Chains A and B, each alone.
Chain A
Amino acid sequence: MTDTPDFGRRRRWLTDSRRTHLFAYALVVPVLLLIIGLVAYPFGFAIWVSFTDRVIGSVGKFVGLANFEYLSRNATFGAAVSNTIFLVVVTDILKLGIGLGLALLVNQQLPGRGLFRSFLMLPWAMPAFVAFLTWRVLYQPVGGGLNLVLTQTGIYPHVIDWLGQRPTAMPSVILASVWRGFPFWFISILAALQSIPKELYEAARVDGANAWQRFWMVTAPGIRQVVLVTALLSSIWTANAFEHVWLLTQGGPSDATMVFPVLAYFGMQTQRIGEAAAVSVSMMPVLIVLLIAVTAVMQRDDER
């Protein structure tokens, strides 16, 4: 990385004057104000609300940890915890596998690879709302594309109720999320692959390493960092995402696909803002851990 500390130079830049300093602050202030006003303040407000029994139309009073205590007794909340973790881990693994595989294929010197690259990125270009509605049409037991393909090609003769039964509901949500989310992995890994110096491969070849060994000796270390950061980001996105589950199953059947954001939205629907906020807030510790991990990994990256 280029941002290696160089004190001599930096001192010369800094000693220039207070003007540089002011300039630096002036550049960052608009963004700072925006974040304080539109994120930090509402965020603080939401945390406060999670400690009140606020319902729509009344301000509510401070109730301490009552909302959290109520949630902890709630079976659906437990389901949301385990489902969210399961969804995040499994989609990440699948996206890694698919993204890495496709990136390796496209990274070869194949004529027409640009075309493949474009096609492979299409799911990401679809608006989430549109993408998941389309998947719902695909999963429909009646007239859904997926069942139609399976029955007409004779792969599986019976209509499968993809979203309506416990064994298939979560896998179906995962499939749709992976479909829409893998291109980010694919692009990230592809870029990392392209930044690996070709000489390293050549050297490995000269040393007599086979393809498998070259992958572990050269490719894996070269993309490790990128995969790590992508995994963290993707985890946070998936944990925060609302549309996929909402548009496909609304958390059902029973609580088979209930996740945090959907549970929070249900709290809104039943007008109990205090509880809804508590759901979101109780998700924060995990997010903060992931966040610290992202920062740490990237700082380490900077230092190298």
Chain B
Amino acid sequence: MSVMKSERSMRRNSGSGASERQRMIVGRVLSYMALTIAVLLILFPIYWMVITSLKLPREIYRVPSLWPQVFTLDNYYKLLFDEGFLHPILNSLMVATTVTVVSVIFSAFAAYSMVRFRYRFKGLIGRLILFAYLTPGSLLFIPLSILMAQLGLSNSLQGLILVDLAFSVPLATWLLQGYFRGVPRELEEQGLIDGLSRMGALLRIVLPLSAPGIAAVSIFVFTGAWNELLFALVLVSSESQRTAPLALNYLITSDVLPWGPLMAGAVISSVPLMILYFVAQRFMVQGLTAGSVKG
């Protein structure tokens, strides 16, 4: 709205409405062209993933083409029924959901504490959280697998959840801190005066006001847990405990890469996330950046 208004006022000021308008139209056309080209370039790999999943192996390896000559759902059928890909998808769903819920609860508490109170070691704790978030996973996987074995959680989804938490909680705490800072203190004070407890103020005022931020953080954490491969690779061996990326990884046996089923699995495991992002992109822009970037 405000831009429109300013356009109008500009026109009045310059007194050359027609050429201004022309410029605007040209600008728009150019913008659309640039954006369309960008989107096409960006979508091409995704397109390639999808059509590869719809091709027969002979077409993938011997007579590649930009458009499949024969469309087949064989790869999907093979993946879902012969390989039972639904089970790892369910495992992933469970791991990612649990990690998300636990991370958000723990992190919301910690972030609230860090933002609203002043106490000793707060700076240290803040730094520790940031540091934890930035520690490379490749450094931790052997110690963590030993730790999981000591806890009797090797080869189990629980172990995987715990390890995923180690990476998601610092991130979520950090993002939420930024978001909570944006919640006006006055609203909370009013709540306290009205007889809410501290916990009540957090649950009834801060959390609802931060809903977009929490949505963004949830999506972010969910994605992280859904994607995780390195630790699943090290911690889980039994079929019954495999997550989706791990099950796909197991399709790559030593010699021939079954690109068709692999890309079918790629499609199946990215579609839910893509829909989520597509729908929630507004929250993502609002919430995520408020948290991560304004810190």
A and B touch in the complex (CB under 8 A): yes
Q: How far is the CB of A177 from chain B (nearest CB, A)?
A: 13
Contact A283 B181, beta carbon cutoff 8 Å: no
CB < 8 Å: which of B144, B198, B278 contacts A118? B278
Contact B289 A188, beta carbon cutoff 8 Å: yes
Contact B142 A46, beta carbon cutoff 8 Å: yes
Contact A2 B181, beta carbon cutoff 8 Å: yes
B34 within 8 A of A: yes
Contact B139 A205, beta carbon cutoff 8 Å: no
Instruction: Say whether chain A's binding surface is mostly helix, strand, loop, or mixed.
Output: helix
Question: Contacts of A106 on B, CB cut-off 8 Å?
Answer: 35
Contact A30 B130, beta carbon cutoff 8 Å: no
Contact A105 B35, beta carbon cutoff 8 Å: yes
CB < 8 Å: which of A119, A130, A187 contacts B289? A187
Mark interface residues in B43-73 (1 if CB within 8 Å of A CB, else 0): 1111011001000000011101110000000
Tell me, in angstroms, the Cα distance from A141 to B73 when the chains sit together: 25
Contact A129 B248, beta carbon cutoff 8 Å: yes
Considering only CB atoms, which chain B residue lies closest to A197 in the complex? B2
Q: Taking A1-B294, A127-B273 as contacts, is the C-beta distance between A31 and B129 under 8 angstroms?
A: yes
- Chain A interface (Cβ < 8 Å from any Cβ of B): 1-3, 9-10, 13-14, 20-21, 23-25, 27-28, 30-32, 34-35, 37-43, 45-46, 49, 98, 101-102, 105-106, 108-110, 114, 116-131, 133-135, 137-138, 142-145, 148-149, 152, 179, 187-188, 190-192, 194, 198-199, 201-202, 205-206, 225-226, 229-230, 233, 236, 239-240, 242-243, 260-261, 264-265, 268, 273, 276-277, 280-281, 283, 287, 290-291, 294-295, 297-298, 301-302
- Chain B interface (Cβ < 8 Å from any Cβ of A): 2-4, 6, 9-10, 13, 27-28, 31-32, 34-35, 38-39, 42-46, 48-49, 52, 60-62, 64-66, 106-107, 109-110, 112-119, 125, 127-132, 134-140, 142-144, 146-147, 162-163, 165-166, 169-170, 173, 181-185, 198-199, 223, 226-227, 229-230, 245, 248-249, 259, 262-263, 265-266, 269-270, 273-274, 276-278, 281-282, 284-286, 288-290, 292-295
